Structure 1
Amino acid sequence: MAGLRERQKAKRQRAILQAASTLFKQNGYEAARIEAIAEAAEVSVGTFYNYFEHKADLLLAIVSMEVEEVLNQGQGVVDAPQADAYDAICTLVATYYDHSLVYLTKEMWRTAMAFSIQSPDTPFSRRYRELDLALAEQVVALMERLQQGGQVLRGVDARAFGELTFLGLNGLFTTYTVSEDMALDELKAAMFRKVRALTAQIGVAEAG
């Protein structure tokens, strides 16, 4: 019985998150109303508040859902990387970028980033940083896996290069979110150029 209740609770929470994501995209984060989200999720407003105290908590939950799915997909790249380091790193980068707007819009990302900067000591901001750290650690794990497989030179500081790669892809993603005119293909092309330069520096031949 307890297992059934937990599944029902998870189902309601997922419904709220998907409804909120849809309405945030349609109306904008600020304009979307709690009452409309609850109605779209087919729950009462009281039930909504059993799950989330306010919209900021809801936005963080959507960010978490996004990043957790990305991490699951990225783990497949880490576990079985392509033979060429450039291709492997670009595949992981593309996995992150391609999934970035599944549940969130650029405006939602900007709002989440602003919350994390404006109130760095809140649970929202701490969780946001934890998610960033998890992504960074996955990039490091890929770099270390490539080094173990001989695609990255043994003397290279794989952790440092992994962290630099994450800083690069994260910084470009921030640029992407603040530019409504920048297309996803432009974002990926810009990062792929950096990856090509990176792989050249760690002694790996560039992909043809």
Structure 2
Amino acid sequence: MRETHRPRETAGDSGPELPRRRPGRASAHGTGASGSGTPHRSDGRPPHTPRGARQPGPAGHPGTTPPVPGWPASLVLAPLVALFGLITWQVAADGPLVRLDERLGESLFRRGPAALTQLFSDLGGVPVALPVLVCAIAYALWRGARRLPVYAALTMAAVPALVIPLKVATARQGPLTEAVNYYPSGHTATAAVAYGASALLLLAVDRPA
């Protein structure tokens, strides 16, 4: 067997020579040409890591740059406004939706527990819902929030300004009564704004450590 020839170290060598980087090669995680630190390969092939091949999502979706937490508020609000407009049109025109609502109300009359229905009715009243919102606003102010409590108070103040004119314009007759001005429901609007705004305030403010 032949012995493999190995270069001998001279007395002036301080140790084995470090490997030299070959020209024209780049590691998969090398710094880009602009110094941005983006993973790349010098030969144009995609990097080994899947991170470099990831593409951001379309505008308005999570994954965009900068990141967006979800759908824009306008896309969520528009269908709700359209649905409310459709129901209001049916009420004003005495459409088939009104007759369906009347038949459903007559079939459900006195079939549920009276105590539970009265509880839900009381929860939508101003004497109950408004103090809940006031407590949430006070807590948010105490935690240092400024704009959100103002927005919540203005939204609550806008409820009668929007509901009362619609009640008068539609003159909707109430269930099992000859009285009118029952649409839209003031209890429903009050409960939705008061409890919804209270929940948003409690979720938005910083919690004590």
TM-score of the superposition, structure 1-length normalised? 0.25
Structure with larger RCO (C-alpha < 8 A, sep 6+): 1
TM-score between both structures, scaled by the size of structure 2: 0.25
